[in-house]
Structure 1
Amino acid sequence: MDRLVFGSGSSPASTSNAVEAPVTGAVVQAGAIHGDVHVHGRQAGRLPFRFGVVPPVVDGYQLREVDLAAPVLVLSGMGGVGKTQLAAGIARDAWTSGGIDVLVWVTASSRQSIASDFAWCARQLTGLDDGDPERAAGHFLNWLGDTAANWLVVVDDLRAPGDLNGLWPPPSTSGRVVVTTRRRDAALAGPGRRRVDVEVFTAAESAAFLRARLTDHRGLAVGADRLAEVLGHLPLALAQATAYLVDRRITCDEYLTRFTERHRPLVALSPEPDSLPDQHRGTTAAVWGLSVELADRLQPTGLATPMLRFVSLLSPHAIPIDVFAAPALFAYLEAVVGRPVGAEEPRDALHCLHRLSLITCGPDDSGVRVHTLIQRVTRDEFASDDVGTLARVAADALVWACPRGQSNAPLPRPLRDNIDVLLSHVEETLSRPRFHHILVKKGNDLGYSGYPGAAHGFLARLHGAAARRFGVLHHDTLILGYLSAYWQAQGMRPADAAALLRSTADRLARVQGGTSPFALTARRDIAYHEGRAGHHRRAVALLEDVLPHIRAVFGERSTTALLTMSSLAFWLGEAGRTRAAMSIMRDYFDILEESLGTEHPDVLTARQNLGLLLSDTGDHTAAIALLTGVRDDQTRILGADHPDTLRTRHNLAVTLAHGGDPHGAAREFRALHLDEVRLHGPDHPDSRSVLREAVRWTWAANLASEW
């Protein structure tokens, strides 16, 4: 065997550095070499250098309204919004323009795949062949930091932020990094990094995309705008829908007909796996499966899926955050995971879904948004038993989130929208075996929002169903019949309305007793319509009789008792008993304001009634000031077109007239007439009544030339 001697000096104790043999290898250091030398090593790669496959441009590719100018760009968004296409566009432009010498495209399925791809690039660019992928990846990152060559590294579809720990390309004046991911974690932030949320197409981008995809099939484009809207302008869904309809020679409208058939899952409206367009790796329905699995692994584990199922029945646009604190939701989550659920866990689970771009949590937990197709795919996976359970959980949660103590105030718009969406999916489910209270909430809210006819129609339909299912004397049938009659009465002549409600109240009293809650409220409502009919003393007698019973059944400070006090005060005033009316109204107002605050609709109505009573006592100046304030507050809180606002404007005009200001009365009545005609048409009784007053006071103020 040939002898190798290493050392320094010439004595055995200090041997010389010498090699006495042929040498083969990458590196050798010797003072003297006796034999042949063969040095082999991997040479550094030549530039330009390109690694990985950049996805091709898709048919109908759209330049997006996204600011992509950043040295380290993180493109975040839900699956299917086109993050990879944006990154590919950056890569293609940089490479074809000659702006870079090195292009590396890595598909980040795992940390191991990132490290191994970086290691391969290191071997090609540095000539170093390290057997450990992590160390080899470090050689590549060092090379990026040292080179003067211009480079671009794209890390596509990053599954977890931790997969890039220690593998982020270094800051460089000659390099750029683009990362695409469904994640929104704080860990993606860092010095020099800019995260951009990629959203769905705009309406204009969707239209341009569909025009391009259907250029050779223009006859199929009928309904394209509606298709884009229904699919939520999601690029992936639009691409797969057009592939499906072109393969089957159906129009966009025909596709939508199939889409709206509830028995047909979304996966059945996608191309077959071997027919997916644009090299898609999965159908729209399958794209989010991995995201849900990853969200379920985050803390609190196992809650992401049931939370996503819960939100899939609600509005895609804005789910109030209070809904997620409902006891019914906690009970459902505990039943799913088989353990107690802490107070903070539902909100934490929402943020797990947010981090995976499956939902969007608004700033400061202002609400939750979710794409309509994610909801559709989630609902497609429901078992039949799940639908009934989740429907009731969602309905209970929405009812729980409704403002307490409100009577005739419309629901906040987000809650109303969520109730509408829920009922569009599961109204029939919530009607069996008993009618869920949310159905009553929906009907009454229609009326309180200024649509008594729609409220009557909705509740009458439920009443008919209850009568067929349970019989005419069943509790649900009686209550729905009363509520239907209540809203029907709002559009009737007062005497007819009183007669209708009297028959309803008699039926309730016969079956449930004269002091049952609904029988008492029906008697109170009869008094209102008697008063409208001009029978003021009769209204007062009815209310004085029913008020003690209402206080006993509902409570002294209950909303029902307070409304009855208000009504009694009003009709006392109309009957000429002003002092008694003022006494009751002040007591009522003090209790109401203390309980509900200054901006509650019931408090505003009480202020209006105080103003009218002040006017009746002759203090028109104080009454006008009070009514003007109420009008302005109602306009701000309820809206200019709300019935309460319109009523206050009418009363203000009347008070101005009685207070000796015909000019002000004429202006108020004329402006009110324009709004009544706009809202109800010129032949509506309110429009005609206001017109008569407008004409009267315009002539009285000698303002005819202005009208």
Structure 2
Amino acid sequence: MENATLLPPEALTVSPAGLVHLPERTQLFVGRARELALLDEGVGIQVLCGLGGIGKSTLAARWAADRVADHTVVWWITAETPAELDAGLADLARAMQPGVVGVLPEDALRERALQWLATHDDWLLVLDNVSAPADLRPLLARVGSGRIVVTSRRASGWQDVARTVVLDVLDPEEAAELFTGVCASDDGLGPLCAELGHLPLALKQAAAYCAEAGITPRTYQGLLAEYPGEMFAATAEGGEAARTLARVWQVTLDRLTDTPRAALVLRIIAWWAPEGIPRRLLDPLGTPLEVTEAVRRLAAHSMITLRGGELSVHRLVQAVVRADPGNGTAMARELAVNLLHRGLRHPGGDGEQHLVVHVEALAGHTDPADDSEMAAELFQRIGLFIGTSTAFSRARLLCGRALRSFSRLHGPDHPRTLQAMHSLALPSDPAEGGAPQVAVELLTESLAIQLRVGEPGDPRILSTRGNLARLLRKSEPERAQALLLENVEQSHRTLGPRHPWAILARYEQLEESSGTAVIVAALERLVADAERASPEDPLLRDNIKRSLILRLLDIGYIERALALSAECIEGSRRSFGPGDPSTLLSRMVGVWVLQTGGQAERASALKAELLEDCLKILGECELTRMVREMPA
């Protein structure tokens, strides 16, 4: 009995009625109608989960403040650790029973709060930033049937505890409204909101900085592009440094230190596009279990999202990770290159079509001065692939990047540099107004070097000469014809008339010739020659066949053109797959044949399907534009 505590009479009085402890009500609240409705419909325990900075705590505070009248006690506890949860419960006991302050120890106060919660049901607890479901088990084992709202970055593990409400980013209009609630300037607001991924924390941080610095959203975006590390760490005067983008996700990464591959995966995918990342690209990083565990833990902590065989990551998470110079940036960048390269060449891999967006993102995030040999190869291969879909401007950017890198690595006369030179010989988008002069000059220079160091029948020389001719066909048609004729003569003399390069040379010369009836017969012979010369690579055959179809239409052979078009589409699907640019091009020719042949209704339906597929697979490019502008 000597350790017993004698309580004064007033210590036994419990006065919970109207007891409210919530964060200060923020005026910066927009949207979230769906999530508020889900909270209203719920009972018992609900968990608001999502990426750090997405607005979980703000939403919970707003909803709880509007429900004060419905509960005797509304109490907010920061519960990142079990110790913080216990301290919050002790604070609740002190508020309900002021007479015990300074009399009972912390564990006894916590017990009093639990006893009251267990015997009443008209209370609301908000447990903010809970790290793991297991941290709540001692509390949930004791409390009664009141309401509990939890916020957590943990997206999984709640199935036996509560119903989850997953928060996403704001929509563009809501993001703009949130920003202008702090900073009225709207110059460049839309692009900045998109750059910030419509993430509430990023929007508030940027708006506060703009308002204090007296700059526009456009200026802020320029600073962000030039000084990402500094801007992600910047906050307005009096702002909470721990709530900047540079810090908010580090808390989660610190929790993942026992799974080093999780951080490595995040550092690698930071260099790729944020959406549609094939999981199989990560397979070389470890055993199947090790890689799966890394991905699982990132998803569990809301750092990535999983959708079937793909994953996605918020673009600002990527930007913050890339901007941190102390997290193995150079190694992760080169691994990002290596894994994309493996994805291209590995049997059963993803292929060019699935990786285009990630290679373009990698090029946009990296400095050409840092390009390795493998990076240059990657940019050239994807550039040439994009060129097959007639996205010439995008293709030329990657091919030009490869040229600069090969020239830096090997010098101007190296075969890889020369190959990169003639890969720039892509046709022009109509908006460019003809062949880019820089490409003509580079190809002319490349051809001169190749003729000086190589043999006349070298396929690389034939390719460079043919590419140069294609660029010159409108601006200098006579020079173009002379170059094509030279290719025919050289290839026939050195390789023989049945060689694929000789067939290509004859085809390119025919394309520039007039006299349709004669050309039809010549193209028919070339189709047969191409099938015999290179049956394992039907691209040349299909190109010639599409040209033949259009020539048949010119001389009125509609039925034959229809039959050949259907054959060409089926052959492209079988050889390359339904989503390959060659197949899409064959389908476009098929639509044109139907329109010319008087089957307008069927042509219109197939055009709509083709345009939808082009947009989904290729995005906006020259082929998509050509399909869109075809007659309805």
What residue is the counterpart of 1:343 in the other structure?
288
What residue is the counterpart of 1:60 in the other structure?
28
Letter in 2 for 1:70: G
What residue is the counterpart of 1:389 in the other structure?
331
Higher mean C-alpha deviation, range 316-325 or range 566-575: 566-575
What residue is the counterpart of 1:13 in the other structure?
none
Q: Is 1:448 aligned to 2:420, yes or no?
A: no
Equivalent residue runs for 1:351-500 within 5 Å: 351-361=296-306, 363-366=307-310, 368-383=311-326, 386-402=328-344, 411-412=352-353, 415-431=355-371, 436-452=376-392, 455-456=395-396, 459=399, 463=403, 471-485=411-425
Q: Distance in 2 between matches of 1:391 and 1:665?
A: 51
Q: Distance in 1 between matches of 2:535 and 2:399?
A: 34
What residue is the counterpart of 1:167 in the other structure?
139
User: Contact conserved, 2:265 with 2:282, CA < 8 A, in 1?
Assistant: no
Equivalent residue runs for 1:31-70 within 5 Å: 43=12, 45-48=14-17, 50=19, 53-65=21-33, 66=35, 67-68=38-39, 69-70=41-42
How far does residue 209 in structure 1 lie from its aligned partner after superposition? 1.6
SS of 1:73's partner is strand
What residue is the counterpart of 1:252 in the other structure?
217
User: Contact conserved, 1:59 with 1:213, CA < 8 A, in 2?
Assistant: no
What residue is the counterpart of 1:17 in the other structure?
none
Q: Distance in 1 between matches of 2:225 and 2:143?
A: 50
What RMSD, in angstroms, separates the aligned Cα atoms of the two structures? 5.5
Q: Distance in 2 between matches of 1:526 and 1:246?
A: 54
Letter in 1 for 2:191: R
Q: Distance in 1 between matches of 2:300 and 2:498?
A: 51
Q: Distance in 1 between matches of 2:228 and 2:63?
A: 42
How far does residue 196 in structure 1 lie from its aligned partner after superposition? 1.2
Distance 1:537 1:574, change over 3 A: farther
* Matching residue within 305, 308, 324 for 2:266: 308
Equivalent residue runs for 1:1-12 within 5 Å: none
What residue is the counterpart of 1:597 in the other structure?
none
Letter in 1 for 2:53: G
How far does residue 200 in structure 1 lie from its aligned partner after superposition? 2.0
Gap regions ≥5 residues in structure 2: 511-517, 612-619
Q: Deviations over 1:594-648 (max 9, x none)?
A: xxxxxxx7896587589799999x9975652351465598897357996554445
How far does residue 178 in structure 1 lie from its aligned partner after superposition? 0.4
Q: Deviations over 1:628-684 (max 9, x none)?
A: 46559889735799655444555x36xx97xxx5x4599979x99xx9xx9989xx9
Q: Distance in 1 between matches of 2:458 and 2:541?
A: 27
Q: Is 1:227 aligned to 2:195, yes or no?
A: no
User: Contact conserved, 1:74 with 1:178, CA < 8 A, in 2?
Assistant: yes
Letter in 1 for 2:369: T
Q: Distance in 1 between matches of 2:385 and 2:537?
A: 21
How far does residue 579 in structure 1 lie from its aligned partner after superposition? 8.2
Q: Is 1:85 aligned to 2:46, yes or no?
A: no
Distance 1:142 1:55, change over 3 A: same
SS of 2:210's partner is helix
Distance 1:457 1:228, change over 3 A: closer
Q: Deviations over 1:194-236 (max 9, x none)?
A: 111112222121222223223xxx4x44333333222222212
Letter in 2 for 1:365: G
Q: Distance in 1 between matches of 2:223 and 2:364?
A: 17
Letter in 2 for 1:313: W
Q: Is 1:94 aligned to 2:86, yes or no?
A: no
Distance 1:254 1:577, change over 3 A: closer
Higher mean C-alpha deviation, range 154-163 or range 346-355: 346-355
How far does residue 123 in structure 1 lie from its aligned partner after superposition? 8.1
Question: Identity over aligned residues, as a percent?
Answer: 22
Equivalent residue runs for 1:578-597 within 5 Å: 584=529, 591=536
What residue is the counterpart of 1:334 in the other structure?
none
Distance 1:284 1:534, change over 3 A: closer
Q: Distance in 2 between matches of 1:578 and 1:222?
A: 57
How far does residue 240 in structure 1 lie from its aligned partner after superposition? 2.1
* Matching residue within 155, 158, 168 for 1:199: 168
Letter in 2 for 1:196: V
Gap regions ≥5 residues in structure 1: 1-21, 28-37, 331-340, 552-560, 594-600, 695-706
Q: Distance in 1 between matches of 2:528 and 2:189?
A: 64
Letter in 2 for 1:304: A
How far does residue 168 in structure 1 lie from its aligned partner after superposition? 2.3
Equivalent residue runs for 1:499-510 within 5 Å: 504=446, 507-508=449-450, 510=452
What residue is the counterpart of 2:614 in the other structure?
none
How far does residue 139 in structure 1 lie from its aligned partner after superposition? 6.8
* Matching residue within 548, 551, 563 for 1:625: 563
* Matching residue within 107, 110, 122 for 2:78: 107
Q: Deviations over 1:372-404 (max 9, x none)?
A: 222222222225x94443333222222322377
Equivalent residue runs for 1:209-358 within 5 Å: 209-214=178-183, 218=184, 220-262=185-227, 265-272=230-237, 275-276=238-239, 281-297=242-258, 301-325=259-283, 327=284, 330=285, 341-358=286-303
Q: Distance in 1 between matches of 2:207 and 2:32?
A: 20
Q: Distance in 2 between matches of 1:60 and 1:167?
A: 32
How far does residue 305 in structure 1 lie from its aligned partner after superposition? 2.3
User: Contact conserved, 1:76 with 1:197, CA < 8 A, in 2?
Assistant: yes
Q: Distance in 1 between matches of 2:189 and 2:601?
A: 51
Report how many residues are paired.
Answer: 587
Q: Distance in 1 between matches of 2:509 and 2:128?
A: 72
Letter in 2 for 1:289: Q
User: Contact conserved, 1:77 with 1:83, CA < 8 A, in 2?
Assistant: yes
What residue is the counterpart of 1:31 in the other structure?
none
Distance 1:548 1:159, change over 3 A: farther
TM-score normalized with structure 2 length: 0.73
What residue is the counterpart of 1:702 in the other structure?
none
User: Contact conserved, 2:48 with 2:152, CA < 8 A, in 1?
Assistant: yes
Letter in 1 for 2:71: I
How far does residue 590 in structure 1 lie from its aligned partner after superposition? 6.3
Letter in 1 for 2:383: G
Distance 1:115 1:450, change over 3 A: same
Q: Deviations over 1:248-305 (max 9, x none)?
A: 2233333223222147522453235xx11xx6753221111111111223xxx21222
Distance 1:364 1:488, change over 3 A: closer
Q: Distance in 2 between matches of 1:641 and 1:163?
A: 56
User: Contact conserved, 1:200 with 1:232, CA < 8 A, in 2?
Assistant: yes
SS of 1:104's partner is strand
SS of 1:199's partner is coil
User: Contact conserved, 1:520 with 1:549, CA < 8 A, in 2?
Assistant: no
Q: Distance in 2 between matches of 1:286 and 1:550?
A: 65
What residue is the counterpart of 1:511 in the other structure?
453
Distance 1:345 1:620, change over 3 A: same
Q: Is 1:181 aligned to 2:181, yes or no?
A: no
**Higher RCO (CA-CA < 8 Å; seq separation 6+):** 2
Q: Distance in 1 between matches of 2:241 and 2:229?
A: 22
SS of 2:181's partner is helix
SS of 2:77's partner is strand
Q: Which one has the largest radius of gyration?
A: 1
